[in-house]
Structure 1
Amino acid sequence: MAVRAYLALGSNMGEREQQLVRALKALQAAPGITVTALSKVYETEPVGYVEQGAFLNMVAAIETELPPLALLETVLAVEQELGRVRTVRWGPRTIDIDILLYGEERIDLPHLQIPHPEMTRRAFVLVPLADVWHGGPLPFWGQTIEACIRLAEDAKGVQTWGTLDWETGFDLSAN
């Protein structure tokens, strides 16, 4: 049975928009994953390690037949395929894909935590998630996305960058 999951995607190296497109195409091509909705794309300032360029961030809603650990393996394989190298924590990256939510499941493993433990404090995740969220409170937090956005420290730094037609690329009409 398919599970609805939400993935956060971000890039701040190279052709950022093309990295997002490549990641989405790779995810869609992966067995057991169907991309069902895409948020707008937002430009955001880096968090944590600030000596780097701005990010493009978005969220994809997916339906998946994969169990959580297999989804993580797929996400990590896509990151590696697109040249992700893990050096500085919160540092620059060609692509970053995080599993935010996986149905109503809670997973607490050293290498996988669902829901993503930082998501309710990060406007660069919450604002795009609001574009594709079905409404209602977030599981396990009991708050709406809008309430979490109001409390996020980086909310003012999230700017709409454009929309994505991932089949062909970006529609930059919002820029």
Structure 2
Amino acid sequence: MPSDERVYLSIGSNIHPRVKNIEHALADLRALPTVQVVAVSNWYETEPWGNREQANFYNVSVALTTTLTPDELLVELHTIEQQLHRQRLIHWGPRTIDLDIIFWGARHMQTATLTIPHAQAAHRNFVLLPTIEIAADDPFVGPEVQAMLAANHDTSWIKKVGNVSEQHD
């Protein structure tokens, strides 16, 4: 049985077919017996962050509960990325899929493989804006995201596109 502590992921894709890549990742998450997807934000089209010489992304945030540890969930996310042919060739480069753990309830941790909250979350519109949609009522994460938004200086554009799952890009 998953715990009540909510975990927030950011999922993005900018390699065709972006919509199907994200839908597949969401389906794979929902299929995990150790994970319960609680909420999915609206979809956003976003300017690439870091390396801007690439296609625009679609991004969503996901709230879930899980019986997994952070490291175990990270392994599952990497498995989903591998199934969708994620390649890590260029830092901040194009990707079929990107699944990142952003927040985990009130936890703050840093290991060799995982930092929670995500080290760059406070500087990324494409993470903060979708996450506040589904975390506003979370007593731990909601205030943290609000504080990050208030201090955020990211000028990259982000456009809510609602639910694009019927589209084929």
Tell me the TM-score normalized by structure 1.
0.86
User: Secondary structure in 2 aligned to 1:149?
Assistant: helix
RMSD: 2.0
Give every structure 1 segment of 4 or more consecutive aligned residues whose post-TM-superposition deviation is greater than 2 Å: 134-139, 142-156
Match of 1:30 in 2: 32
Match of 2:160 in 1: 160
User: Secondary structure in 1 aligned to 2:163?
Assistant: strand
CA distance in 1, matches of 2:143, 2:32: 33
- Report the alpha carbon displacement of residue 150 of structure 1 after superposing the two structures with TM: 4.4
Match of 1:167 in 2: none
1:44 to 46, 61, 72: 46
1:115 to 117, 122, 136: 117
Is the contact between residue 40 and residue 128 of structure 1 (CA under 8 Å) also seen in structure 2? yes
Match of 2:58 in 1: 56
Is the contact between residue 28 and residue 35 of structure 1 (CA under 8 Å) also seen in structure 2? yes
CA distance in 2, matches of 1:129, 1:116: 13
User: Secondary structure in 1 aligned to 2:91?
Assistant: coil
Is the contact between residue 106 and residue 140 of structure 2 (CA under 8 Å) also seen in structure 1? no
- Unaligned stretches of 5+ in structure 2? none
Is the contact between residue 19 and residue 95 of structure 1 (CA under 8 Å) also seen in structure 2? yes
- Unaligned stretches of 5+ in structure 1? 165-169
Tell me the TM-score normalized by structure 2.
0.89
Q: Report percent identity of matched pairs.
A: 36
> How far does the alpha carbon of each residue in 1:98-140 deviate from its partner, in whole angstroms, 9 at most, with x for none?
001112212211210011111111111000001100436765x
Q: 1:117 to 1:107 in 2, by over 3 A?
A: same
User: Secondary structure in 2 aligned to 1:72?
Assistant: helix
Match of 1:12 in 2: 14
User: Secondary structure in 2 aligned to 1:6?
Assistant: strand
User: Secondary structure in 1 aligned to 2:162?
Assistant: strand
Q: 1:103 to 1:150 in 2, by over 3 A?
A: closer
CA distance in 1, matches of 2:100, 2:107: 15
2:81 to 75, 79, 82: 79
User: Secondary structure in 1 aligned to 2:51?
Assistant: coil
